[in-house]
Protein backbone atom coordinates (compact mmCIF):
# COMPACT_ATOMS: atom_id res chain seq x y z
CA UNK A 1 0.00 0.00 0.00
CA UNK A 2 1.15 3.53 -0.77
CA UNK A 3 1.80 5.63 2.34
CA UNK A 4 0.33 9.03 3.11
CA UNK A 5 2.68 11.99 2.90
CA UNK A 6 3.60 13.54 6.23
CA UNK A 7 2.64 17.20 6.72
CA UNK A 8 6.27 18.15 6.09
CA UNK A 9 6.50 16.07 2.91
CA UNK A 10 3.18 17.47 1.70
CA UNK A 11 4.35 21.06 2.27
CA UNK A 12 7.61 20.38 0.44
CA UNK A 13 5.91 18.73 -2.54
CA UNK A 14 3.21 21.41 -2.80
CA UNK A 15 6.00 23.99 -3.02
CA UNK A 16 7.19 22.31 -6.21
CA UNK A 17 3.77 22.15 -7.88
CA UNK A 18 2.00 24.89 -9.85
CA UNK A 19 -1.30 26.04 -8.38
CA UNK A 20 -2.37 22.93 -6.53
CA UNK A 21 -4.28 23.49 -3.28
CA UNK A 22 -5.02 21.29 -0.29
CA UNK A 23 -8.76 20.77 0.10
CA UNK A 24 -10.14 21.96 3.41
CA UNK A 25 -12.78 19.24 3.67
CA UNK A 26 -10.57 16.16 3.20
CA UNK A 27 -7.01 14.93 2.67
CA UNK A 28 -6.94 15.64 -1.06
CA UNK A 29 -5.52 18.18 -3.49
CA UNK A 30 -7.21 20.15 -6.24
CA UNK A 31 -6.55 22.38 -9.20
CA UNK A 32 -8.61 24.07 -11.91
CA UNK A 33 -7.21 24.06 -15.43
CA UNK A 34 -8.45 26.49 -18.09
CA UNK A 35 -7.95 25.94 -21.80
CA UNK A 36 -8.66 27.85 -25.00
CA UNK A 37 -11.64 25.67 -25.87
CA UNK A 38 -13.26 22.28 -25.38
CA UNK A 39 -10.90 20.53 -27.80
CA UNK A 40 -7.86 21.55 -25.74
CA UNK A 41 -9.58 20.54 -22.50
CA UNK A 42 -10.54 17.17 -23.95
CA UNK A 43 -7.03 16.60 -25.33
CA UNK A 44 -5.63 17.28 -21.85
CA UNK A 45 -8.06 14.83 -20.29
CA UNK A 46 -7.18 12.19 -22.89
CA UNK A 47 -3.45 12.50 -22.19
CA UNK A 48 -4.03 12.36 -18.44
CA UNK A 49 -6.36 9.37 -18.80
CA UNK A 50 -3.64 7.38 -20.58
CA UNK A 51 -1.08 8.23 -17.86
CA UNK A 52 -3.58 7.52 -15.08
CA UNK A 53 -4.41 4.13 -16.54
CA UNK A 54 -0.72 3.20 -16.71
CA UNK A 55 -0.33 4.29 -13.08
CA UNK A 56 -3.58 2.57 -12.03
CA UNK A 57 -4.35 5.87 -10.29
CA UNK A 58 -7.43 7.72 -11.49
CA UNK A 59 -8.39 11.34 -10.80
CA UNK A 60 -11.73 12.72 -9.78
CA UNK A 61 -12.51 15.36 -12.36
CA UNK A 62 -15.21 17.54 -13.81
CA UNK A 63 -15.26 19.18 -17.22
CA UNK A 64 -17.40 21.97 -18.64
CA UNK A 65 -16.33 23.39 -22.01
CA UNK A 66 -12.79 24.74 -21.49
CA UNK A 67 -12.51 24.08 -17.73
CA UNK A 68 -11.25 20.92 -16.05
CA UNK A 69 -11.41 20.69 -12.27
CA UNK A 70 -9.30 17.92 -10.74
CA UNK A 71 -9.18 16.34 -7.29
CA UNK A 72 -6.41 13.89 -6.43
CA UNK A 73 -6.25 11.54 -3.46
CA UNK A 74 -5.18 7.95 -3.04
CA UNK A 75 -8.39 6.39 -1.79
CA UNK A 76 -6.75 3.17 -0.60
CA UNK A 77 -4.39 5.21 1.61
CA UNK A 78 -6.97 7.74 2.74
CA UNK A 79 -5.29 10.85 1.38
CA UNK A 80 -2.38 12.38 -0.50
CA UNK A 81 0.53 10.12 -1.48
CA UNK A 82 3.40 10.33 -3.93
CA UNK A 83 1.08 8.82 -6.56
CA UNK A 84 -0.97 12.00 -6.39
CA UNK A 85 2.13 14.18 -6.60
CA UNK A 86 3.40 12.24 -9.63
CA UNK A 87 0.08 12.58 -11.45
CA UNK A 88 -0.16 16.28 -10.52
CA UNK A 89 3.31 16.89 -11.97
CA UNK A 90 2.28 15.19 -15.19
CA UNK A 91 -0.90 17.27 -15.35
CA UNK A 92 1.11 20.45 -14.85
CA UNK A 93 3.44 19.47 -17.69
CA UNK A 94 0.69 18.75 -20.20
CA UNK A 95 -1.91 21.25 -19.00
CA UNK A 96 -0.15 24.53 -18.38
CA UNK A 97 1.39 26.66 -21.12
pLDDT in tens, 74-91: 998 999 999 999 999 999
Strands of the chain (E only): list them: 21-22, 29-34, 60-64, 67-72
pTM, 2 dp: 0.93
For residues 19 and 25, give the distance between their C-alpha atoms in angstroms, rounded to a whole number. Answer: 18
Residues of the chain with pLDDT under 50: none
pLDDT at site 63: 97
Q: CATH fold of 7-95, please?
A: Gyrase A; domain 2 (3.30.1360)
Cα distance between residue 80 and residue 59, in whole Å: 12
Check if the beta carbon of residue 48 is closer than 8 Å to that of residue 90: yes
Whether 46 contacts 57, CB under 8 Å: no
Amino acid sequence: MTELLSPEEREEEFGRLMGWLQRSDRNAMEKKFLFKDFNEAFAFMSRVALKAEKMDHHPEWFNVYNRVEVILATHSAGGITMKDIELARFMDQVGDP
